[in-house]
Structure 1
Amino acid sequence: MPDPPRSAKGYRCFDDAHVRRLKFVMRSRDLGFSLEEIRGLLGLVDDRTQTCAQVQTVAESHLQDVQEKIADLKRIEHVLLETVARCTGDAAPQCAVIDALLET
């Protein structure tokens, strides 16, 4: 992000463009874009010769990453649900959760 100008007393003077850019970065982070992806998106914002198709490519790639993470989390959830269901939770030294973690 470009440095904003400073006042005579050294305070940063943010204008609407700076605030808008910061909100863009924050919203992008909220959506899970990496700093590298955000940097690329900002480059597309700054270079008005870029097309919406280029932005769509970045967004589609990120969406695919998110969908893969969701699928991984669902697999993890399934394994944990099965493991927890097998656990008796009593005072016995044998534990289904530990056994499942020791399995290869």
Structure 2
Amino acid sequence: MKFNGRTEEQRLVAGILTQAFSDMFLVRDNYNASADIDAVQAIRFLTARSGSLAEWRDQLCSYLDLDGDVLAARVRAILDGKAEPPSADKSGRGSHAFQKRVHQARDRWKKLAP
């Protein structure tokens, strides 16, 4: 069955990728002590250049007719500060809280990046 032009499987895959992108920006607090672990796993999944994580990401992206390597390059650009993540704020800057999350994700990336 299709919904908005996508099959149920495609909607599931889109949800998985969206959740990984969201998890990348998790902030650790009293309510979410595992945020660092979850965020690092999401960053590794979304940015891997090779290996099983890259293969899984690429496979999932292929179900949506996306190039997983292009997605990974875009995420790396966001984490490197060369691009800004999509923002719900019409100004394009995002809220202060979101900017804090972006900053924390970039700090995590600096510790992980080769």
Q: TM-score, normalised by structure 1?
A: 0.25
Q: Which has the higher contact order (CA 8 A, sep 6+)?
A: 2
